[in-house]
Structure 1
Amino acid sequence: MLLSPKYKFLFVHIAKTGGTSVRAALQRQRRRDPWALPIFLCNRLSHLSGHRLAVKLPRHAKVIAAKELLPREVFDSLFKFAFVRNPWDLQVSSFHHIRRERSHYLGGHEDFASFLRWKLDPERPYQYHLDTSIELQSDYLIDLHGAVVVDFIGRYERLAEDFETACGRIGIAPLPLPHRRQATDRRRDYRAYYDDETAELVARHFAGDIALLGYRFDPD
């Protein structure tokens, strides 16, 4: 999550949706914000205390965290936006990210299908780096009553165009997005990773996202 009181925006960073590029592009605006230093100091203090002080909005916090922590008039004044991604594609991206950078979280499951079954098994013990990508993306966008409270939902599939729209809503000139890191060992089309069983497994687990965001396994 990225907050700028000066530019009045709140970016809700959902994992594996291009958010790292968005954050990097917005860093200059963040550094120009008079509140940047106080926010940085609070973040450092939170870190040094073992995050016992509840003064930091975590990188992948849901929008409800900001709604509950910020004064209502401040929250309402912010342009709140996020990016989402096709759930089937997101799971392929997550698999390659974990295999490349945190292979010890694979749990001995080296191929995508077996890893996905294990990952989405409700009996599996909680592991943070896995569970951030099995949470519903829609949960990052809603309040306690289930109402969507972000003002703009961009799509990973058209990241550059939608980020340009977000910049316009913030009131800044369009910013270039840094190159998105791609896994070099993945096939481009996520559908090649699935059979009928695993595709349906994702469809059931992420039914809420599919209903709200309109994604399908075979896009138009």
Structure 2
Amino acid sequence: MILSNRYNFLYVHIAKTGGTSVRAALRRLQWRDPYYPAQWLCSRLSHLTGHRIAAKLPRHAKIVCAQEMLPREMFDGLFKFAFVRNPWDLQVSSWHHLKRERPHLLEGRESFDAFTRWKLDPQRPYQYHLDTAITPQTDYLVDLHGRLLTNYLGRYERLLEDFDYICRTIGVPTPALPHKRQATDRSKDYRSYYSDGLAELVGRHFARDVEMLGYRFDGP
């Protein structure tokens, strides 16, 4: 999550939606923010204390955290945005990411089908790096009553165009989006990874994303 007082925006970073690139592109705006030194200090203090002092908004914080922490008039006046992604495509991206960076989490379940079924099993013990990818994207975007709090939702599927719109809205030149954390084996269409049964399982798990964000298995 990025909060900018100078440019009056709040960016909600949902994992595997191009957010690392967006954060990198917006980083220079943070350096110009009058509150950035205080934000940086709080971030360092939080890290040094093992995040025991609740002094910062985490990278993948839900928007309701900012709503609770910020003064109401300030929160209401922010331009609040996020990027979302087709849930079936997101799961393929997450699997590739874990294969590349945390392959030990896949041991015994190396195939996409086996791993995804295990990951979505409600009886599975909690593991942070798995559960960030199975949390519905809409959980990051709504208040405690399920009401959408963002002003704009960009789509991963049109990342460049929507990022340009966001930059024009907050009144800054659009910086180039660097390519960050790209999967090494994504030549295949995400749909080819799925059997009918697995596609249905993912659709049920992310039913609210499918309904609220307007996605379907075959695309947006």
**TM-score range relative to shorter protein:** over 0.9
Give distance in 1, aligned partners of 2:95 and 2:20: 17
Task: Please tell me the root mean square deviation across aligned C-alpha atoms, in Å.
Answer: 1.0
Give distance in 2, aligned partners of 1:180 and 1:50: 27
- Equivalent pair of 2:141/2:150 in contact (CA under 8 Å): yes
Q: Secondary structure at the match of 2:76?
A: helix
Matched ranges for 1:57-206 at <5 A: 57-206=57-206
Give distance in 2, aligned partners of 1:148 and 1:168: 22
Q: Which residue of 2 aligns with 1:211?
A: 211
Sort the Cα spacing of 1:200 and 1:218 in 2 relative to 1 into closer, same or farther, 3 A: same
Q: CA deviation at 1:127?
A: 0.2
Q: CA deviation at 1:176?
A: 1.2
Give distance in 2, aligned partners of 1:157 and 1:97: 18
**Which one-letter code corresponds to 1:38 in the other structure?**
A
Alpha-carbon displacement from aligned partner over 1:150-186 (angstroms, at most 9, x marks no partner): 1000000000000001111111122211124422223
Give distance in 1, aligned partners of 2:108 and 2:72: 46
Give distance in 2, aligned partners of 1:43 and 1:71: 20
Q: Which residue of 1 aligns with 2:47?
A: 47
Q: CA deviation at 1:188?
A: 3.0
Give distance in 1, aligned partners of 2:37 and 2:182: 32
**Which one-letter code corresponds to 1:141 in the other structure?**
L
Q: CA deviation at 1:107?
A: 4.2
- Does residue 24 (structure 1) correspond to residue 31 (structure 2)? The answer is no
**Which one-letter code corresponds to 2:119 in the other structure?**
K
Give distance in 2, aligned partners of 1:209 and 1:89: 13
The aligned length equals 220
Give distance in 1, aligned partners of 2:3 and 2:188: 33
**Which one-letter code corresponds to 1:39 in the other structure?**
Q
**Which one-letter code corresponds to 1:184 in the other structure?**
T
Give distance in 2, aligned partners of 1:131 and 1:141: 17
Give distance in 2, aligned partners of 1:97 and 1:138: 21
Report the more deviating stretch, 196-205 or 105-114: 105-114
Aligned identity (percent) is 66
Gaps of 5+ in 2: none
Give distance in 2, aligned partners of 1:37 and 1:188: 44
Q: CA deviation at 1:187?
A: 3.4
